[in-house]
A and B are shown apart, each in its own frame.
Chain A
Amino acid sequence: MQDTAPNGPQADDKVVLAGQEERKGARADFISSLLLLLIGIFTIIESLRMPRFESWGSYARPGLTPIVVASCLILASLIIFIRSLCNGGYRLNITAAGAAAFCKADMTRRFLFTLFMITLYLLCLGKTHFVVVSVGFLFCMMIYFRASKWWISMAVAFVVAFLTWYLFEKIFLVPLP
C-alpha cells in the first residue's frame, strides 16, 4: 500500500478505465456469442434437413460433420455467453446520445467512406476500362485521406493503375476485371 499511495489518483483512473474496458468487452462478448449461437443453431437445423442417403449408411450423410462442428461452436459460444452474463454484458446501455456520437466519430466517417468507395469501385469494374476506374478510385481515396497535393496524388494514381494493367494484362497475360 505504501508504494501505491503517491500514485493514488492515477491508479484509481487506471482501475476505472480497466473496469470500463471489461464492461465493454463483456457487452461485445454478449452480442457476439448470441450471433454465434444463432449461426450454430441454424447450421444444425439446415444439416438435419439434408438427405440421409440411407443406402450409404447414416454415418456418411452430408449433414454429419456440420452437426458435429456446429455443436462444438454452440458449446463454446455458450461458455462465452454465460461468462458475459456474469460480467454484466447484458446491460447494453444504448442511448440516443451515444449512437449520435458514434455516427459523428471520425473513425466511423473514415470507415464508411472507405466502404462506399470500395463498393463504387466494384460496381464500376467491368463496365469501364480497368485503368480509368482504378485511377478514379486511387485518386479519390488519396485526396480524401490527404495523402499529398492533388497533382501528386493524380500522378501516383495514374502511374500505378497503368503499370499494373500493363504488367498483368500485357506481360503476364492475366485477365483483369
Chain B
Amino acid sequence: MGPIHLATAIYEQLTVYNLINVFLATQLGIVIGMLPGLTATMGVALLTTLTFKWNAGNAIVTLVSIYIGAIYGGSRTGILLNIPGTPASAATCLDGYPLARSGKGAEAIGLATTASFLGSVVGLFALSFFTPLLGDFALEFKSFEIFWLAIFGIAICGNLTASKDHLKGWIAGALGIILSFVGMDAIQGYRRFTFDIGQLDAGFDIIPVLVGTYGFVEILDNLSRPDLKESIQQLGRVLPKFSAVMANWVNIVRSGIIGVVVGIIPGVGENIASYVAYDFEKRSSKHPETFGKGAVEGLIASETANNACIGGALVPVLALAIPGSPPAAVLLAALYLHDINPGPLLMLQRPHYIYEFSAMFFWATCAMFILGLTIVKPLLKILSLKNAFLMPIVFLFCIIGTFAINGRFFDLLVMVFFGLLGYPMRKLGYPETPLVLGIILGPMIDENLRRGLLLNNGAILPFFTSPISLMLIGAIFLTLFGRKIKSMLFKPRSA
C-alpha cells in the first residue's frame, strides 16, 4: 500500500501554489548553499521563523525545499571556486574543481545535479518505505559505534585528501580534533584550552572555521599568485549524457545506500557520507590515480551520497524524533512548532504523514533538478571573471556568512586565524579538509569515548565487542594500513 499512498500524496500536492512555493524555496536554498558560510542549517532556521504563521503543509514543504536546495547548492561554489558552500560539499571540491579548471565546469555541474537528484531519489525511497525499519537500525549505534565511525571518517578523509602522503592527512585530522577540544567539555563542563578568554568557552563555531580554511585560504592563494591563469573557457554541455550516467549506475546505487545509512546515524550527517562514498568508489575504480584530478566517478559518488544522506537523516527524525544532522534538528523543531509530533507515535496518530512528507521531499528534489540544470551557463561566467574582481567580492560574502550566524565579531577573528593556519598548511602539503572534519567530529569522539567508559566503569573491552564496532575497526585498520599490506603482499619480484 505504501507506493499507492505515496503516489496519492504526490498527486495531491501537485498544485500551482505548492509548486511556486517549492521552486522559490529550493532556489533560495541553492543560493544559501552557494554562499560560503551560509549553511542548510541556517537556511532552515531562518525560514522557520519566517514561515511560523503559515499552515503546516506549506511551511514544512518550504523548509524541506530549502534543506535540499542548500545541500545541493554547496556543490556550486565547490566546483567553481574550490570553496564548498557547506561542509557537506567539501568532498565535491576534490574532483569538481579540477574539472572546472580543465574547462569542464558545465559538465561537472550537470553531473553534480544529476547525481544529487538520483541521491535524493534513493533517500526518498528510504524515507518512504523503510522509515520504521531504519529507525531501529539507528538505535544500534551507541557510544562505541559512533566513536569508531567518527575515527573512520577522519581516517578516510586523511587518505583521500593527502594522496601523496596519507600521514599528513591524518596529522591534519588529529590537529583538527585537538582544536575541537577548545571550550567547555560536554561531560563535566570544564573549560579546556581557553586561556581565560571568555569567548572561547563555546569553542570554535564550525562556520568561521569552514570559511577561514577554505574561503580565506583560497582568497590568499589566488591573490598572491601573479602567474595564476585567470580565465578558463568552459566547453561542453550541461545536461549529462545518459550513457555517462548509466556507466556509473553501480556507483550511484552504492553511494546512495552509503548516504542513507550514514544519514540515519544520529549526529553524523552529510559530512562523512560523501567521503565514505568517495573512498568506496576510488577503491573499486580501475583508475584510482585519476581521483582528485577531475574524476567524474568521484564527483558523482560524493554528490549522490550527500543528497541521499538528507533522506537518511530525516528517517530518525520521523521514526524516533532524533535528528540525523544539524539541519534535520532544526527541521524537527519546526515540525513540533507546527503541531506535528514525530516519533514512534507518529505512525499511530498520523499514519499517512510519512507519505505526505515524502511527497514534499519528492517535489523539492524535482525542483532542485530542474533549477540545477537550467541556470548553469550564467553561473559559469564566474570562472571567466578576473580574480582581482572575484576574490575581494568572495571575501565580502565570507565576512557576511561568518558574522551572520551569531552576530559576533570574534567569529571574524576565528575565520582569519583558521585562514592563516590553513594557508601554510596547504603550502606544506597538509590538507585542510581533515582539519575541518576533525573539528566537526572531535566533540563526538571525546564525548562518546568518555561516555562509553563511564557507562562501563572504565572497561575498554566493550569498545571492541559489538559487531558494528568490529566492522568499523576493521575498516579503520584497512584505511590506515591497507596500502602497506597490499604492497607487502603483492611486492613485485626482482629478476
Residues of A at the B interface (CB closer than 8 Å) are 25, 28-29, 32, 36, 39, 43, 46-47, 50-51, 53, 56-60, 62-66, 68-70, 72-73, 76-77, 79-80, 106-108, 110-111, 114-115, 118, 121-122, 125-126, 134, 137-138, 141-142, 145-148, 156, 160-161, 164, 168, 172, 174-177
Contacts and interface: CB of A to CB of B under 8 A. Distances in A.
30 contacts: A28-B427, A39-B175, A50-B190, A51-B190, A53-B188, A57-B453, A59-B458, A60-B187, A60-B453, A62-B187, A62-B188, A62-B190, A62-B192, A64-B449, A80-B167, A107-B226, A110-B225, A111-B223, A122-B413, A141-B392, A146-B388, A148-B386, A161-B396, A164-B396, A174-B400, A175-B403, A175-B404, A175-B407, A176-B403, A177-B412
A59 B453 contact: yes
Interface in B250-304: none
B170 interface: yes
A79 B141 CA distance: 34
Interface string B184-209: 01011010110000000000000000
Given A141-B392, A142-B388, A147-B388, A73 B178 contact: yes
Contacts of B188: 53, 56, 60, 62
A160 B430 CA distance: 34
A72 B413 CA distance: 29
A73 B192 contact: no
Contacts of B428: 28-29, 32
Contacts of A118: 395, 416
A79 B446 CA distance: 25
Given A63-B192, A142-B388, A174-B404, 7 more contacts: A59-B458, A76-B170, A114-B223, A114-B224, A138-B396, A174-B46, A177-B412
Nearest to A63: B192
B139 interface: no
A115 B226 CA distance: 16
A114 B392 CA distance: 9
B144 to A, nearest CB: 14
Nearest to B38: A174
B20 interface: no
Interface residues of B, number: 54
Nearest to B395: A118
B403 A177 contact: yes
A122 B457 CA distance: 49
Contacts of B429: 25, 28
B333 interface: no
Contacts of A59: 450, 453-454, 458
A110 B388 CA distance: 11
Contacts of B52: none
Contacts of B392: 137-138, 141-142
B220 A66 contact: no
A138 B9 CA distance: 50
B174 interface: yes
- B167, B174, B389, B412: residue with the most chain A Cβ atoms closer than 10 Å: B174
Nearest to A31: B428
B156 interface: no
Contact of A114 (B178, B187, B219, B454): B219
Contacts of A51: 190
Contacts of B177: 69
A149 B430 CA distance: 39
A108 B427 CA distance: 14
A111 B219 CA distance: 10
Nearest to A164: B396
A43 B429 CA distance: 23
Given A39-B178, A65-B449, A66-B192, A160 B412 contact: no
Nearest to B193: A46
B409 interface: yes
A36 B223 contact: no
A145 B449 contact: no
Contacts of B389: 142, 147-148, 156
B171 A111 contact: no
B181 interface: yes
A73 B192 CA distance: 18
A67 to B, nearest CB: 11
A59 B453 CA distance: 7
Given A57-B454, A125-B412, A147-B386, A168 B193 contact: no
Nearest to B402: A177
Contact of B174 (A60, A72, A134, A146): A72
A134 B57 CA distance: 41
Contacts of B109: none
B403 A80 contact: no
- A58, A69, A70: residue with the most chain B Cβ atoms closer than 10 Å: A69
B101 interface: no
B44 interface: no
Contacts of B6: none
A73 B407 CA distance: 34
B133 interface: no
A99 to B, nearest CB: 17
Contacts of A148: 386, 389
B122 interface: no
A177 B170 contact: no
Nearest to B220: A114
Contacts of A69: 174, 177-178, 181, 445
